[in-house]
Amino acid sequence: MSDIPFNQPFATGNEFTYIREALEHGHLSGNGPFSDRCARWLEQRMNSPHVLLTHSCTAALEIAAMLAGVGPGDEIVMPSFTFASTANAFVLRGATPVFVDIRDDTLNLDERQLSGAIGPRTKAIVPVHYAGVGCDMDSILELAADVGAVVIEDAAQGLLATYRGRELGSIGRLGALSFHETKNVISGEGGALLVNDPDLIERAETMHEKGTNRRRFYRGEVDKYTWVDIGSSYAPSEIIAAFLWAQLEQATEITGRRLRIWQLYHDAFSGAEQEGILRRPVVPADRTHNAHIYYVLLADERRRDGLIRDLAASGIRAVFHYVPLHSSEAGRVYGRSFGTLPVTDAVSASLVRLPLWPGMSDEQVELVIDATLASVRPRGRRATSVQA
């Protein structure tokens, strides 16, 4: 029997070297040399004016909520098909998430429904780039400008993916990235805030530094630092930043490995999609993705559960994804839905995520493909294997 996990954290080989270097340097708290190195890399690669490393993507979203001036009585328009952190960052400020359905193709926020969901209390729109495939950002930005709402990108899954040539996370006024161990580039836990509006940089630094002007003090702009604004402790340690630097150095190579595995899956399931047995991911022509997730969509929950069960019997760990926030226990208390969300409900009940990590072998990929096709095809139909 195979033993193929859903995810396996990938190391480049330089992580311990840089952690040792951080130890020898003697700076282990946040905002040290490795943190600066990572932030500058992200600024240059993503064309963002300013990047702050955080201890999670959740933390980056919390800072974004404060920078956007979100408070009690405000509403935040966002998809229901996302992780709880997307909503929590704003609920903690007293705001109400307004959940909108997703598109049937990209599984992203359906921009065609935004105008109906937006009201006089709308403070921000939070697109989530599912599976590293960009939302229709032009439509979202245009509508946000018309109503004066702040666009905050949840690009937790979006590193090194683009929308019309622009890096995901760098398009809205603010963006948030994740380096959780399940993401493409990892540090165990970790994230980053992209401050794409230069007018917000100074306040973002203050909030990041526990509400103090310590960064200005270190730059010699003030003769002492003190508490000047709201904030909290958001910076990761240099140990985490050192690990992350080893990953960022090889981010392009890591993404390339994932893209190759993604394409092997995609090619192998083409026939099954033509037969109407499953649906494959959709990537619009004006976007590039980063192979963060490979999923298949089945007809219903019974078939989804059957595939997960059959793969488990073969030693292959596959999983479904989000329980929609609008139907979750907390979502019913703290948020509200804009109408019914039929696509969200259907996708949640039918989506299966297949194993994908940079160190997967061709043999492992082929085993997953064969087991998937054997499960979803009617009995008696032979499963085909991918040829690397």
Question: Which one-letter amino acid corresponds to residue 350?
Answer: S
**What is the CATH classification number for the domain harbouring 33?**
3.40.640.10
What's the predicted TM-score (pTM) here? 0.95
**pLDDT over threshold 60, residue 381:** no
Q: How far apart are CA 107 and CA 42, in angstroms?
A: 26
Which two three-digit tokens encode residue 234? 């958001």
Residue finishing a domain among 222, 248, 274: 248
**pLDDT tens-digit readout, 256-280:** 999 999 999 999 999 999 999 999 9
Its domain, for residue 48, covers 15-248
Across 74-103, average pLDDT: 98
**What is the CATH classification number for the domain harbouring 319?**
3.90.1150.10
**pLDDT tens-digit readout, 185-213:** 999 999 999 999 999 999 999 999 999 99
Domain match, 72 and 216 both: yes
Q: Which long-range contacts (CB under 8 A, 24 or more apart) does 25-29 make?
A: 25/238, 27/238, 28/237, 28/238, 28/239, 29/235, 29/237, 29/238
Q: Which of 121, 174, 166, 118 is nearest to 143 (CA)?
A: 118
- Percent of the chain exceeding pLDDT 70 equals 97
Residue finishing a domain among 221, 248, 275: 248
Q: How far apart are CA 359 and CA 356, in angstroms?
A: 9
Residue finishing a domain among 248, 281, 310: 248
Domain match, 309 and 177 both: no
Which two three-digit tokens encode residue 354? 């297949």
Flag whether 8 is in a domain: no
Q: Band the pLDDT of 378: cuts 50, 70, 90.
A: confident
**pLDDT tens-digit readout, 348-364:** 999 999 999 999 999 99
Across 245-250, average pLDDT: 98
Task: State the total domains in the chain.
Answer: 2
Domain match, 222 and 193 both: yes
**pLDDT over threshold 70, residue 184:** yes
**pLDDT over threshold 80, residue 382:** no
Q: What is the pLDDT of residue 30?
A: 85
Helix axis angle, 362-376 relative to 301-313, nearest 10°? 130
**pLDDT over threshold 80, residue 295:** yes
